[in-house]
Structure 1
Amino acid sequence: MLRSLSIRDFVIVAHLELEFSAGFTVFSGETGAGKSILIDALALALGERGDASVVRAGQTRADITAEFTAHPTLTDWLDQHALPHDETGGVLLRRVIDASGRSRAFINGTPATLAQLREAGDMLVDIHGQHAHQQLLRPDAQRRLLDNHADLTELASQVASAHRQWKQLVQRCQEAQGRERELQRERERLEWQVNELDKLAPQAGEWEEINGEHRRLTHAASLIEGARGALHVLSEADDGALVPALGSIIQQLRHLAEVDPELRDTLAALEPAEIQLREAVHSLNHYAQKIELDPQRLASVEQRLDALHGAARKYRIAPEQLPAELESRRQELTELTAAQDLAGLEAAAAAAHEQYATLARQLSEGRTRAAAKLGKEVSAAMQELSMPGGRFEIALAPVAEGQAYGMESIEFLVAGHPGVPLRPLAKVASGGELARISLALSVIASSASLTPTLIFDEVDSGIGGAVAEVVGRLLRQLGQGRQVLCVTHLPQVAALGHQHLRVAKRSEGAATLSEIVALGRQERVEEIARMLGGVEITATTRKHAREMLAL
């Protein structure tokens, strides 16, 4: 439940610290005193969007902190998001909005996203706004209320997802049918290109390799001549080949080094040189034997180069990119063949429709059970709300093919009096009837919810008299198991609260400020008398207020 609320520099609130208790708490005050400001501030702490307009004039930022008692579901959620626990067993939600409109959110002192703040808030508080009865005139709001009440929200989301997937596949089938001739031409073009490149069979690295071979074949005569010339100088010349000459020098130095050891360093430098020269001679011999003039091979290589270069020019790419181009066009052909597989697409669409229909039937069954139960409960509440003989039903009408929201439209039907036919809620003439039915729906739907704190922001507008007292009793009854906060202008409702807070305005210089105070017994008498009476509060009014509190 909500333990406390701290507000600083929010709209016309300078500083406010409020403590809350369990049960049914009411807020009252004169028109314009700022009763709903409290709900607006709490909504910001719960993740609602806000801007710089909420910052009190002349101040740098608005700061709202709400402390709640944690429950196991919320504790598990905190663990999943690596958010800390409060030592007191609670959870602190804080929202700061500065004068530039920049917003920051915190959970238990740790920075959090607005989405996280909103997700945590949804597990803690359920707010019913003062315009809830107008919203209930919309079919989508009626559908959401029924699904929320029946705990079908997740299933409804799955149905919407399945419907979207089914429709996407149907669209692909239609596109494939419409483009069948075009796709066939494109497929034939790709097939021809893939066959052409397959015949060419370009290999990775082939362009570089064949260019190197072409250079060698083109310059084969020069390479042979150069290799033979080097061999002649190194080992074959009769008048001073390098390798035999160096060998003779080394042999002489070996004998001389036995006489003078200082020659050993020279000998050590020349001996490796002889070895390397002999290895070079060996390599040149091998190279000279391998390389040869091969006009036929040269012609073949030039033909291959021309074929690769021509294909590259045709596809407007570099020759070395031909292997990748072949794979790319193969992939395009595979995808196009799959896209042109009408039978496969139609089978996939049929399977997606079956999945949608299965989920939608489950949703319909859940809605049917919940609609009957909710209809009986609201009809029973109408008898207490001065609508004797009134009936409430929820009509589920099948829709063709099914929609994203399911296989039926949902409409709330009402008969306010005996013998009156059921009519759509949107056509109920009496605003008072609409407000009472809306309140009954809100209370009944909230009683099925697991949210620990429920807030009703002037949802009792449009009713009065004995009906107002019944409304107060409904809210007080709801407060037996939940924490219920209600902003009200009705004395009959205010008198039934376990706790009563009064909102008032005061002037401080040129500024108008709002303040909230908890009322004691006698103060409640005065406040309820004010709500009952006019400009002047009489002894009779106070007596009536005391009688209402005594009840």
Structure 2
Amino acid sequence: MLRTLDIRDMLIIDRLSLTFQPGLNVLTGETGAGKSILLDSLGFVLGWRGRAELVRAGADKGEVIAVFDLPPGHAARAVLEDAGIEAEDELILRRVNFSDGRKTAWVNDRRVSGEVLRGLSDTLVELHGQHDDRGLLNPRGHRQMLDAFAGLDLSACRRAWAALGAARRALAAAEAALAAVRAEEDFLRHAVAELDKLDPQPGEEATLDTRRRDMQGAERIRDDIARAHRALSAEGAENLMVDALRWLEAASDRAGGRLEAPLSSLSRALIELGEAQDGVAACLADLDFDPRELEAIEERLFAIRALARKHSVLPDELGSFAGDLRARLAALDGGTRQIGKLHVAVTEAEAAWQAEAAALSAARRAAAGRLDAAMAAELAPLKMERAVFRTELSEAEPGPEGTDAVAFTVATNPGAPSGPLNRIASGGELSRFLLALKVCLTGDDPGLTLIFDEIDRGVGGATADAVGRRLKALAEGGQVLVVTHSPQVAALGGHHWRVEKRVAAGMTTSTVTPLAAPERVEEIARMLAGDTITEAARQAARALLD
């Protein structure tokens, strides 16, 4: 329950302190006196999004403090717990709006965000404004209203719809990927076959290039080495040295020992010559190659390099590139099986969502009957006992909240055709339909303060009295605040405030005054008679109050 509301420097309010009571609280006053400013200020401290400029002209900041009673078990306690704020029996909301646009809020002296305020607001206050019938006239909001009346939890259906969407997206992505792979299937199979046939190995290109260079170099030096080999062989130096050794040995006996040293050196030279011959022969053997081998090496080397250029990769990367192509082919070959699995997943997800949607539809049909009965009970005391309210369900585009479209239709007189509210109901009837619907949707929540802003517009006389009595009954055991221009409604209030606009020293301010019994007579008489209050108007006001 809202206990007090303190407002400082907000719009045309200088200083204002209000103490509200349980039951039906009514606020009256001339049009433009500032009643809407009170609601704007209350909405500001509750975190509602409203006017951007609220600070009174000339002030540095505006401030609103609202104090609520918080009984045990109140839903606001859970919001406080989630925000890490200890709940007490008294809840103090304070919010400051600086002239530069900055806003700061506190809950029980703990600084909080506007999101926390709005979370608390949902559990503390429900406002039904003078333009709420726009929402009532919009069929897009009717399903939400019915769901609220039924207390439906849509999370399971939303999760099932999200899962279905994910399954469908996965299937579509897999099908697109498969289609893309299929579009290049011929290329993949040809490229893989070509790579498999060549089977290039890492480092092979460098090895082949080195071998090719060696063979090409051998062709240039082999002739010189061969000539040297011939010069050292029996056809050249070796033959001459052997002849010299034979001739010297024959003359050695007659030389008196003078040829011993030359003979020894020549023998060693022949040994060294033999080693040189072996080395040169070995070199020739190494340089000896089959020209066909060089041709084969060049052919493979050129094939590897050509394939690397074709696929824009390095020669040493051909092997891994071939592996990538094989993986894409494997994806193509296994794509059909994967698509089949994804089709099954979509079917299962669709069945799960349809089950949730069907459960919601059944719950909505049952709730529609209960709402129609509840509306019939509410319309009777509002002088609309002959009106027929119907909640009609039809099939809508499938979505996260099921497959139902909901529309509220009415027939205001017996035998008259039913139709949409905006084509059937008059302005006064709309207000009463709205009041009845809000009563049905709100239910019995003693912890919720209900605020009605000119809900009685367009009605008068006995009908206005009926609206006032329904508001009074609704306020029993709870708290209802009503902004009204109807004397019949004002007379039924348990507590009455008059909102006035005053001009002093060139400054306009709005004040709110609690009214005692005599003052209530004057205010209701003013509402009945206008600027000139007659004794007859006072008598009528007393009659209404009685």
Q: In the TM superposition, what is the alpha-carbon distance from 1:347 to its structure 2 partner? A: 2.0
Per the alignment, in what secondary structure is the counterpart of residue 63 of structure 1? Answer: strand
Could you say if the C-alpha distance between residues 360 and 535 of structure 1 is closer, same or farther in structure 2, counting changes exceeding 3 Å?
Answer: same
Counterpart in the other structure of 1:487: 483
SS of equivalent to 1:54:
coil
Match of 1:221 in 2: none
Aligned partner (choices 76, 89, 97) of residue 78 of structure 2: 76
Q: Which amino acid aligns with 1:163?
A: W
Is 1:360 aligned to 2:361, yes or no? no
Q: What are the within-5 Å matches in structure 2 for residues 249-398 of structure 1?
A: 341-398=338-395
For 2:95, give the aligned amino acid: R
Partners of 2:82 and 2:537 in 1: CA distance: 55
Cα offset for 1:74?
A: 2.1
Which one is further off, 322-331 or 102-111? 322-331
In structure 1, the residue corresponding to 2:523 is in which secondary structure? helix
Contact 2:40 2:50 in 1 (8 A): no
Alpha-carbon distance change, 28 to 183 in structure 1, aligned in 2, over 3 angstroms? farther
Q: Distance in 2 between matches of 1:60 and 1:108?
A: 24
* Superposition pairs of residues 404-423 of structure 1, within 5 angstroms: 404-423=400-419
Q: 1:441 to 1:195 in 2, by over 3 A?
A: farther
- Stretches of structure 1 that go unaligned for 5 or more consecutive residues are 212-304
Report matched runs for 1:20-59 at 5 Å: 20-50=20-50, 52-59=52-59
What corresponds to 2:279 in structure 1? none
* Contact 1:52 1:100 (8 Å CA) reproduced: no
Match of 2:507?
511
Segment drifting more, 498-507 vs 374-383: 374-383
Query: What amino acid sits opposite 1:19 in the alignment?
Result: T
Post-superposition offset of 1:346: 2.4
SS of the equivalent of 2:92 reads strand
- Is the deviation greater in 480-489 or in 169-178? 169-178
Matches within 5 A, 1:195-206: none
Residues 186 and 387 of structure 1: is their aligned pair in 2 closer, same or farther, counting only changes over 3 Å? same
The 8 Å contact of residues 176 and 339 in structure 1, kept in 2 or not, is answered as no
CA spacing shift, 1:543–1:51, aligned 2, 3 Å: closer
Is 2:514 aligned against 1:542? no
Name the SS for the 2:533 alignment partner. Answer: coil
Unmatched runs of 5 consecutive residues or more in structure 2: 207-300
Question: Rg: which structure is higher?
Answer: 2
What CA deviation, in whole Å up to 9, does each residue of 1:153-185 have, x standing for no partner?
x31x54345335434544665676677543423
Letter in 1 for 2:479: Q
Give the counterpart letter for 1:379 in structure 2. Answer: A
| Cα drift, residue 315 of structure 1 | 7.2
Corresponding position of 1:163:
161
- Structure-2 separation of matches of 1:319 and 1:59: 78
Alignment of 1:69-108 (within 5 A): 69-70=69-70, 71-72=72-73, 73-82=75-84, 84-85=85-86, 89-108=89-108
Write the distance in 2 (CA, Å) between the matches of 1:89 and 1:202.
82
Q: Is the 8 A contact 1:183 1:340 kept in 2?
A: no
Decide whether aligned partners of structure 1 residues 10 and 330 sit closer, same or farther in structure 2, where only a CA change above 3 A counts. Answer: farther
Contact 1:180 1:340 (C-alpha < 8 Å) held by counterparts: no
Cα deviations across residues 353-400 of structure 1 (Å, max 9, x unaligned)? 22221111221122112211111121232222222422111111233x
- Indicate whether 1:145 and 2:141 are aligned: no
Cα contact 2:181–2:328 (8 A) shared by 1: no
- Alignment RMSD, CA only? 4.2
Residues 85/167 of structure 1: CA separation in 2 closer, same or farther (3 Å cut): closer
Deviation (angstroms), 1:339: 9.7
2:318 and 2:109 map into 1 onto residues whose CA distance is 60
2:434 alignment counterpart? 438
CA distance in 2, matches of 1:62, 1:331: 68
- Does the 8 Å CA contact 1:51/1:102 hold for their aligned counterparts? no
Distance 2:182 2:470 in 1: 69
| Superimposed CA distance per residue, residues 169-202 of structure 1 (whole angstroms, 9 cap, x where no aligned partner) | 4466567667754342357767888999999999
Q: Tell me the number of residue pairs that the alignment of Structure 1 and Structure 2 aligns.
A: 467
2:376–2:385 contact (8 Å) kept in structure 1: no
Per the TM alignment, residue 26 of structure 1 is displaced from its structure 2 partner at its CA by 0.9
Aligned-partner residue type, residue 102 of structure 1: R
Counterpart position of 2:518: 522
Residues 32/352 of structure 1: CA separation in 2 closer, same or farther (3 Å cut): same
Say whether the 8 Å CA contact 1:94–1:106 is kept in structure 2: yes
Distance change >3 Å, CA 326–CA 60, structure 1 → 2: farther
- Cα distance in 2 for partners of 1:348, 1:187 equals 27
Cα pair distance change 1:504/1:348, threshold 3 Å: same
| 2: CA distance, partners of 1:434 / 1:34 | 25
Identity of paired residues, percent?
40
Q: 1:7 to 1:310 in 2, by over 3 A?
A: farther
Tell me how far apart the structure 2 counterparts of residues 452 and 202 of structure 1 sit (CA, whole Å): 79
Q: Residues 456 and 178 of structure 1: is their aligned pair in 2 closer, same or farther, counting only changes over 3 Å? A: same
Query: Which one-letter code corresponds to 1:76 in the other structure?
Result: A
2:27, 2:497 within 8 Å by CA — same for their partners in 1?
yes
Q: Give the Cα–Cα distance (whole angstroms) in 1 for the partners of residues 480 and 120 of structure 2.
A: 18
- Corresponding position of 2:119: 119
Q: Which residue of 2 aligns with 1:533?
A: 529
Shift of 1:342: 3.2
Q: Which residue is equivalent to 1:10?
A: 10
Q: Distance in 1 between matches of 2:361 and 2:102?
A: 44
For 1:285, the equivalent position in structure 2 comes to none
Q: What is the CA–CA distance in structure 2 between the aligned matches of 1:339 and 1:449, rounded to whole Å? A: 57
Per the alignment, residue 239 of structure 1 pairs with none
Q: State the one-letter code of the partner of 1:132.
A: D
